[in-house]
């Protein structure tokens, strides 16, 4: 009968620790702010404020010919949501507007454009401010799209080029038919939310308890190290899953981001990543035992890599090979890959299983290391 009694006593101690920590989380305004308010703030800021799409890009429109062909060509720019056209009379005036940054580009229709269209040698000059290389690259892509729209429309009406072949341009985007960067950003935002709750908040709170001597008080109780660790992490685990629920609901209600994969798979993989984040926070706080140092280290090893080196904002394949190799160290890389796949592509097991396995291994190692670091001892 001793074994059942021992198990019952262990369960009572764990529940008591969970209850105590839960009340502490509820009474702590910073925990509520990070766990509930911060996910919604980040979702709104990233969803509405941050976008890789350019809208209403101001361009100067120089039409050196007023033919029907010229008007049809520039209609692709005038009717596009990506451009806001400003008609000017001369190229010199357009260049002045570009120099003083009134406009970001110039679209020029040269003289004798209609004749060149009939001969199949027509050209449209597009000049873009290249001080921001990424913006310039996107703007040029949009300009090519506007010209392609005009060519497709003319081809549908029977326009024939020199070679005798009509143009028929057909394009399709997989996984993100709306070509909206919000679809790409919002799923990755879940990584930041769970990193904040799991790693940063946990590291701060635990380091504060080390500073105040709360852990030393727990060490003189019958509670074992594993029970103390479990009692401390369960409330923050629940808080992290609440942040996940708010992020998923917000992505659906506010931005209409599709969730094409299984919700249960999303929950399971998110639980694995949350365990990894909790393990990192517990380990850092146990080793440093100082709030300021713990916060700085946690930001460096979790939050910044989650934003910069996970594929959340920047494509890893475009990074130098050395940096690509470093990204494999950070768990956020694997979680971002799974999230983007589940939201936009569906249950692609060739992506989900390997990344989930890595997260599971990391969670096991980090939680074991955290248990060792917070073993029952004084000081």
- State pLDDT tens for residues 247-263: 888 888 888 888 889 99
pLDDT in tens, 271-284: 999 999 999 988 89
Are residues 71 and 34 part of one domain? no
Query: What pLDDT was estimated at residue 272?
Result: 95
Query: What pLDDT was estimated at residue 378?
Result: 42
In a domain, 166, yes or no: no
Are residues 265 and 197 part of one domain? yes
What share of the chain has pLDDT > 90, as a percent?
15
Q: Which two tokens stand for residue 50?
A: 């941050």
- pLDDT at 264 exceeding the cut of 90: yes
Are residues 38 and 65 part of one domain? no
Are residues 306 and 210 part of one domain? yes
- pLDDT at 170 exceeding the cut of 50: no
- Residue 70 CB: number of other CB atoms within 10 A? 20
Query: What pLDDT was estimated at residue 327?
Result: 93
In a domain, 225, yes or no: yes
Are residues 212 and 112 part of one domain? no
Query: pTM for the whole thing?
Result: 0.75
Query: What pLDDT was estimated at residue 187?
Result: 80
Helices (H) and strands (E) in the chain, counts: 17, 4
In a domain, 4, yes or no: no
In a domain, 139, yes or no: yes
Query: What pLDDT was estimated at residue 173?
Result: 54
DSSP per-residue codes, 314-357:
S-GGGS-HHHHHHHTT-HHHHHHHHHHIIIII---HHHHHHHHH
Q: Smallest Cα–Cα separation from 270: which of 261, 103, 120?
A: 261
Are residues 312 and 209 part of one domain? yes
pLDDT in tens, 368-379: 888 887 764 444
In a domain, 81, yes or no: yes
Are residues 329 and 190 part of one domain? yes
Are residues 217 and 145 part of one domain? no
Are residues 349 and 273 part of one domain? yes
Overall average pLDDT of the 54-62 stretch: 85
Are residues 186 and 119 part of one domain? no
The terminus-to-terminus CA distance of the chain in angstroms comes to: 36
In a domain, 9, yes or no: no
Domain count, the chain: 2
Containing domain of residue 272, as a range?
16-50+180-374
Are residues 310 and 206 part of one domain? yes
Specify the higher pLDDT residue, 369 or 44. Answer: 369
Are residues 247 and 118 part of one domain? no
Overall average pLDDT of the 41-54 stretch: 72
Q: What is the rounded CA–CA span in Å between residue 72 and residue 311?
A: 40
Domain boundary among 99, 125, 157: 157
């Amino acid at each position: 009968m001793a074994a059942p009694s021992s198990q019952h006593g262990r369960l009572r101690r764990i529940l008591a620790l969970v209850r105590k920590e839960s009340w502490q989380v509820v009474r702590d305004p910073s925990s509520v702010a990070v766990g509930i308010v911060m996910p919604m703030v980040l979702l709104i800021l990233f969803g509405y404020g941050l976008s890789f799409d350019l809208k209403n890009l101001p361009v100067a429109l120089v039409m050196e010919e007023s033919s029907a062909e010229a008007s049809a060509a520039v209609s692709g720019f005038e009717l596009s949501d990506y451009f806001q056209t400003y008609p000017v009379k001369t190229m010199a005036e357009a260049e002045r507007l570009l120099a003083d940054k009134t406009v970001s580009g110039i679209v020029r229709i040269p003289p004798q454009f209609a004749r060149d269209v009939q001969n199949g040698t027509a050209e449209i000059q597009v000049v873009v401010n290249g001080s921001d290389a990424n913006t310039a690259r996107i703007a040029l892509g949009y300009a090519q799209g506007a010209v392609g729209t005009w060519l497709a429309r003319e081809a549908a009406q029977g326009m024939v080029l020199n070679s005798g072949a009509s143009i028929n341009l057909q394009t399709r985007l997989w996984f993100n038919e709306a070509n909206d960067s919000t679809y790409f950003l919002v799923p990755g935002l879940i990584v930041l939310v769970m990193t904040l709750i799991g790693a940063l908040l946990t590291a701060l709170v635990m380091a504060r308890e080390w500073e105040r001597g709360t852990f030393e008080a727990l060490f003189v109780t019958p509670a074992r190290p594993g029970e103390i660790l479990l009692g401390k992490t369960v409330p923050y685990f629940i808080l992290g899953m609440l942040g996940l629920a708010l992020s998923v609901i917000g992505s659906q209600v506010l931005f209409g981001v599709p969730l094409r994969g299984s919700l249960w798979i999303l929950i399971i993989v998110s639980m694995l990543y949350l365990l990894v984040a909790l393990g990192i926070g517990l380990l850092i706080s146990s080793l440093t035992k100082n709030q300021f140092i713990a916060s700085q280290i946690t930001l460096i090893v979790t939050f910044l890599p989650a934003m910069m080196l996970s594929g959340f904002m920047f494509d890893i394949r475009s990074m130098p090979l050395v940096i690509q190799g470093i990204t494999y160290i950070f768990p956020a890389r694997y979680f971002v890959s799974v999230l983007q796949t589940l939201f936009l592509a569906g249950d692609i097991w060739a992506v989900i299983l390997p990344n989930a396995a890595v997260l599971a291994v990391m969670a096991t190692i980090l939680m074991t290391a955290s248990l060792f670091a917070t073993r029952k001892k004084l000081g």
